[in-house]
Amino acid sequence: MRNLIRKILKEEFQEEKLWEVKMDMFHGGDDLDDDYEKYYNMLEIYNKLKDKKGFTGIKVHGNLFFYQKSIDHFEDIITVTGDLTIEDCNIHTLGNLTSVGGGINLRNAVIESLGNLTSVGTYLDLAYTTINSLDNLKSVGGGLDLTGTIIESLGNLTTVGGNLELYDSEIESLGNLISVGGWLELGNGSNIDTPIKSLGNLKYVGGFLNLKDTLLSKTTTEEEIRKNVDVKGEIYL
């Protein structure tokens, strides 16, 4: 019985064994088709090695770039140390990807879920995507753009290091978000109502706070906001 318990605990807490590979795919490169071929060849090699070597996923050292592609083989990528661009693409989910050291550009992508993603080192651009949930995302080191999305909640997100763009979205509450290092834009004065009802747990904004043409701008005052949130810049109602 004790041996069985030890075996279960060992399997449960066993560290991930990632296959580490160097790869750089760049926007506008003449050899982009060759890059795609190298990417899929890399996945093919990984599938041959993973059971034999006990690999649990892939760590990419470098940048990945996809443009106007339907991507259905992303579940094995766990970490990308550089930037990840998936522009004008169809991708259901980021799957088991947990972290990106650089930025992520998903603008105009057809995507439903960020999967297991928990952290982004710099920017995260989700503007005008079909994303409806941030799932497990907890932190973004730089700016986060959710303009024109149907996002209603920020879920588990607690920190944004740069600017946070939310105007023309369906956001109703900032939920667990505590701090924004730059400005926070929930309205832009263009008569587009953002249905924001609550700033949630927000405590700090490093720049201005724009609430123009939002529901919240009609039910609160600057004084009330500053009592609860340390806003370093102007507050626009």
Would you say residue 4 lies in a domain? no
Is there a domain that residue 26 lies in? no
Report if residue 35 sits inside a domain: no
pLDDT at 56 over 90: yes
What is the distance between the alpha carbons of residues 65 and 105, in angstroms, rounded to a whole number?
9
Would you say residue 157 has pLDDT above 50?
yes
Give exposure, 1-39, as e/b (b: 16+ Cβ within 10 Å): eeeeeeeeeeeeeeeeebbeeebebeeeeeeeeebeeeb
What is the average pLDDT score of the chain? 87
Task: Please report the pLDDT score of residue 179 as a whole number.
Answer: 98
Residue 45 lies in a domain: no
**Number of domains forming the structure of the chain:** 1
213: pLDDT strictly greater than 60: yes
Mean pLDDT in residue range 36-40: 85
Q: Mean pLDDT over residues 200-222, rounded?
A: 93
The model's pTM? 0.89
- Helix or strand holding residue 231 (H, E): strand 230-231
- DSSP one-letter code for 33: H
Q: In this predicted model, what pLDDT tens digit does every residue of 79-106 receive, in sequence order? A: 999 999 988 888 888 999 999 999 999 9
pLDDT digits (tens, 9 = 90+) for 120-153: 999 999 999 999 889 999 999 999 999 999 988 8
The reply to whether 111 falls in a domain is yes
209 beta partners: 184, 235
On whether residue 221 sits in a domain, the answer given is: yes
Domain that holds residue 107: 60-236
DSSP sequence for 48-92 = HHHHHHT--EEEEEEEEEEES-B----TTEEEESS-EEEET-B-S
- For 101, the 3-state DSSP assignment is coil
Give the pLDDT band (50/70/90) at residue 39. confident
Q: Answer whether residue 1 is part of any domain.
A: no
Cα angle 189, 160, 21 (rounded to 5 degrees) comes to: 125
Q: Residue 173: how many CB atoms within 10 A of its CB? A: 18
- State both tokens at 217: 């701008």
Q: Is residue 158 part of a domain?
A: yes
Query: How many other C-beta atoms can be found within 10 angstroms of the C-beta atom of residue 154?
Result: 22
Q: Quote the DSSP letter at residue 7.
A: H
pLDDT at 12: 41
